[in-house]
Structure 1
Amino acid sequence: MTEAERATFRDVAAVGEFRALFAAQLASVAGDQLARVAVSILVFSRTQSPAWAAAAYALTFLPDLVSGPLLAWLADRYPRRSVMVAADLARTVLVAAMALPGTPLPVVAALLTGVQLLNAPWAAARAALLPQVLPGDRFAVGMAVFTITTQTAQVVGFAAGGLAVAGLTPHGALWLDAGSFLVSALVVRFGVKHRATPHHERSRTPWLSGIAVVWRDRRLTALIALGCVSGFAIAGEAVVTPYAAEIGGGAVAVGFLLAAYAIGNVIGVTALTRFPPVRRRGLLVPLAVLSCAPLTLCVSNPGVPATMVLWAFSGAASAYNLTASTLFVQSVPDALRARTFGVAITGLRVSQGAGVLAAGLAAEYLAPHIVVAIAGALGMLAALGAGWWWHKATRQPAR
């Protein structure tokens, strides 16, 4: 298969190492969902405080904001399979300690922070390994499989996590979470080939080199900017509860609206892999703009079914992130892939967090449907600006 040929899901599934990485990803996603639900319920059961329960849930996301640039470089200094196995084993121990009855809540919080910090080197090592396991267009299809898996987990994961916690108690769910990380470590250790260390970093601040590489390459900064457009596209999630109430829906409508975006994204990613690589690249900027365009129609305050359709279209167009992330990883030398990927993920997390926060604050003064429409309009402008930057960057020689 040449670099320009379109790969299929069957081509990807035929690679044993990919199957191992996919199984490890599936175990980690399931473990993360269990941990978020279990810790939140555990904290609430001890404190009876919704605020502390919400803080515990937020703690499962916040470490990602700093761990990307600070820890992802480990996957460039040490063999990537070893980094993934070590991170999984460390998370197994930390979650097992959280599962012990009587563990003080401050200790649980510290252990949870450690678990989340280890996500960065694990994800960076997997992202850097994938182009070696799946060369050419197989890499893009492999990324699509991971995206579909994650989005599907968001649709069903929290419900399954709640059932697991109800059946096993929070401590039992945490033990199951620890087991999922152990399974991931074993699958990677025996299912992925050992590859030598990609780069011997001599710098005393290797985490800064990833930021420097991204800063100096206009293509990489443009791709990150395009990815950050999702911070506008997910604004609806921040105000989904008051939005559903405003249009005459309740808790059921909240679930439907959240699921609509994720289902749309799964459909969009699957459809995008049907196009040849050159066509996907040509659709990068138009899809980024279209990911926000349907949200502007929320200004008419449509009902639940119409809003679900609009959000599903937004999710489908957001499949452009598959192309952006694939181009980003392929544009970086192997020795620097992990640390630059960590920088990109941090930028994405910051933009999404800022978008959710800004939408929530705006909803204090404006109707939720107006907030979503404004976010869509601003997102379209941001996508056009990032697209112009990408067009300008690709016309110049790469550094």
Structure 2
Amino acid sequence: MDDARVKKAGFGAVLAVAEFRAMWTAELLSVCGDQLARVALAVLVFQRTSSAALTALTYALTYVPSLLGGILLAGAGDRWPRRDVMVAADLARTALVAVIAVPGVPLWVLCVLVAVMTLLGGPFKAAQQALLPSVLEGERYLVGMALRNVTMQGAQLAGFAGGGALIAAFTPSAALALDAATFLLSALFLVTGVRRRAAIAQAVRPAWLSTTGAGIRLIWRDPALRTLVALNWLAGFYVVPEALAAPYAAGIGAGATLVGLLMAADPAGSVLGGVVFGKWIPEHVQVRVLGWLGIAAGLPLVVFACRPGLVVSVVLLAASGLVATGYNIQGTVSFMRRVPDAHRAQCAGVNSAGLITVQGLGAAAAGALAEVLGPAHTIAAAGAAGAAVAVPIARAWRRVGVVDR
């Protein structure tokens, strides 16, 4: 019975769902545009200031404010129709990026606009994650999440690779204008392809901060939700190779031109992992081994203590990314199924905001530790620490792990 269900719920089956197809296309457009914008902003700021510090600050602004958006604004998807929240965020970002693309915008204005644009990504993503379980049911939800992982990782790679070529052919402002167009097209796909569902019925809407606190309390009081969040936040350890790609490449004599190859290895492994776990491994098996996958994702990184060459390093990073994708996809599916619909957007926002935070802290700590241990041994230490922390998480999952079907 399980085998028949898995065969039926393939990538083609989820793409046959018109609403999911519209959401998937909208997200794909946005991700491609965002990656292009990150490259364009870095080039634009450096051209105008010749400052590496200001360039790095602007790049950081394309990530950091989503922490606040994920915590403070995610509840919008529980208070208003989720499709409306996504469309409103897309339209607002269209306007913001259009202003950023205007040549000669003062640098401080540009930074503020970029921060606000990134802030709006929090409620968009939370509303999207909360809506997906209503669009895809049963096995299709897991397969749909796997398909999203495959295509979004591929879009990030394409956006980074194609962004440089596009900016070389045109200008950063033209690339930013294209990013604005992707947000507008995303909103159009959502309006025309996704049914508007009413907001979760509430006789009296609680205060905004009360809603935010309710999501955090819900996660904290449920052992299964706490365990799934802890599993997801292992990324704070496993982001270290990406953060140290440049100094590690220099340390093994690979040269600056191959830094991109090292950074692309984990996403490439994630793409393969999305196919493996999305199409070939039954969901009940994934649920059973979820904790063990968290441990296994760190083990390839331990080998970096031996300072392997470029090819072996790429293979190890890809293997870690492949395994991590398994617990990320199934962990998110199990988390969203377990959260009551009335709090899905807020809880998704808290989970995502925490993920961004631990990745930032992990990258910062790795940089400091690498000054003492060196990049290779820091990566190995992060892998060992991640695997060690995952052991009690895996034991906890054995006690509380269930899947709500």
- TM-score normalised by structure 1 residue count: 0.96
- Does the 8 Å contact 1:4/1:136 carry over to 2? no
1:142-164, Cα deviation, whole Å (9 max, x unpaired): 11111112211232221211122
For residue 53 of structure 2, what is the aligned residue in structure 1?
51
Matched residue type, 2:205: R
For residue 303 of structure 1, what is the aligned residue in structure 2?
309
For residue 370 of structure 2, what is the aligned residue in structure 1?
363
Pair 18,159 (structure 1): closer, same or farther in 2 beyond 3 Å: same
1:255-281, Cα deviation, whole Å (9 max, x unpaired): 221122111111112101221110110
In 2: Cα distance, 1:2 partner to 1:126 partner: 28
**Count of aligned residue pairs for this structure pair:** 397
Q: CA deviation at 1:222?
A: 0.6
For residue 188 of structure 2, what is the aligned residue in structure 1?
186
Matched residue type, 1:385: P
Q: CA deviation at 1:388?
A: 2.0
Q: 1:277 aligns with which of 269, 273, 283?
A: 283
For residue 245 of structure 2, what is the aligned residue in structure 1?
240
Q: 2:324 aligns with which of 315, 318, 324?
A: 318
In 1: Cα distance, 2:103 partner to 2:270 partner: 40
1:1-399 correspondence runs (5 A): 5-6=5-6, 7-200=9-202, 202-204=205-207, 205=209, 206-273=211-278, 274-319=280-325, 320-394=327-401
Q: CA deviation at 1:4?
A: 9.8
- Does the 8 Å contact 1:329/1:341 carry over to 2? yes
In 2: Cα distance, 1:3 partner to 1:312 partner: 28
Q: CA deviation at 1:303?
A: 0.8
Matched residue type, 1:155: L
Q: CA deviation at 1:183?
A: 0.3
1:115-147, Cα deviation, whole Å (9 max, x unpaired): 111101111111111111111110111111111
Q: CA deviation at 1:390?
A: 2.2
In 2: Cα distance, 1:221 partner to 1:252 partner: 41
In 2: Cα distance, 1:350 partner to 1:218 partner: 21
In 1: Cα distance, 2:258 partner to 2:47 partner: 27
In 1: Cα distance, 2:64 partner to 2:161 partner: 23
Matched residue type, 1:181: F
- Does the 8 Å contact 2:305/2:377 carry over to 1? yes
In 2: Cα distance, 1:191 partner to 1:254 partner: 40
Any idea what SS the aligned residue of 2:350 has?
helix
1:194-243, Cα deviation, whole Å (9 max, x unpaired): 11112436211222221111111111111010011121112111111111
- TM-score normalised by structure 2 residue count: 0.94
1:280-306, Cα deviation, whole Å (9 max, x unpaired): 101211111110001111111111111
Any idea what SS the aligned residue of 1:318 has?
helix
Any idea what SS the aligned residue of 1:350 has?
helix
- Does the 8 Å contact 1:33/1:161 carry over to 2? yes
Any idea what SS the aligned residue of 2:371 has?
coil
Matched residue type, 1:203: P
In 2: Cα distance, 1:65 partner to 1:226 partner: 19
- Does the 8 Å contact 2:79/2:205 carry over to 1? no
Any idea what SS the aligned residue of 2:284 has?
helix
In 2: Cα distance, 1:57 partner to 1:156 partner: 18
Any idea what SS the aligned residue of 2:182 has?
helix
In 2: Cα distance, 1:379 partner to 1:245 partner: 25
Matched residue type, 1:298: F
Moved more, 161-170 or 111-120: 161-170
Q: CA deviation at 1:366?
A: 1.2
CA RMSD in angstroms, aligned pairs only: 1.8
In 2: Cα distance, 1:168 partner to 1:337 partner: 42
- Does the 8 Å contact 1:69/1:210 carry over to 2? no
In 2: Cα distance, 1:228 partner to 1:246 partner: 28
Q: CA deviation at 1:379?
A: 0.5
- Does the 8 Å contact 1:69/1:211 carry over to 2? no
